[in-house]
Amino acid sequence: MGFLKTIRKPFRYSFNSVSFYIIGVNILIYLLTSINPNLYNYLSLNVINVVRNSMYWQFLTYMFVHGGLSHLVFNMLGLLFFGLTLERAIGSKEFLLLYLVSGFLCGVFSFAVYYFSGNYGVFLLGASGAIYAVLLAYAVVFPRSQIFIWGILPIPAPILIGIYAGIEIFNQFLSVRSGVAHMTHLAGFACAWLYIRIRMGISPWKVWKDAFR
């Protein structure tokens, strides 16, 4: 009980638009890697770089690196649309901790998959794991929120999370597009679930069950 009380100690609420700062850092890193592609080797997560070269910072920096403009724009739009609203609801400090912890744990998970599967030449990059964590947290904080697909089809946020999870599971295990990236996305959901359950003491299942009564 003492341990849970310690890790659940809330931050004093403040809203400082941290989402915009995160977007800014991602854009800056994208510009720097476009100018100097060698930075990908130092910032993306790679088994050999971590094990042999002790580049442990890559567990955090990988989530700020993107492989192309569309990759960057898609992730940053998700952060803008969902992250900013979530940050305003739970506070900037809580949001930043959720984002960084989820992204870090997604990196650790992916590293373990690469390591034990022998995929030492793969470089993990992108904010997708952290963004998926934000999406799940958004669906917990705003369980009755309606997300409009293509601007016309309203879907409750928790249902959308289930659809995304199903797509990732299908792509991982049943599609020719299988790969660890899909597992990283699912890890983002799992990390957010654990964060909300342990840090905030909230059961996502209970929240969603109550929302659909």
Compute the mean pLDDT over every residue in the chain, rounded to the nearest whole number: 89
Which pLDDT tens digit goes with each residue over 74-106?
Answer: 899 989 989 999 999 999 999 999 999 999 999
pLDDT at 163: 80
pLDDT at 160: 80
CA dihedral 70, 76, 82, 83 (to 10 degrees): 160
34 an active-site residue?
no
Domains and CATH numbers, the chain: 15-211 (1.20.1540.10)
71 an active-site residue?
no
pLDDT at 41: 95
In the chain, which stretches have pLDDT less than 50? 176, 178
What does 77-122 look like in DSSP terms, one character per residue? HHIIIIIHHHHHHH-HHHHHHHHHHHHHHHHHHHHHHHHHHT-TT-
pLDDT at 2: 67
pLDDT at 56: 97
Residue of 128, 145, 182, 203 marked catalytic = 128
pLDDT at 52: 96
Report the predicted TM-score, pTM, of the whole model to 2 decimal places. 0.91
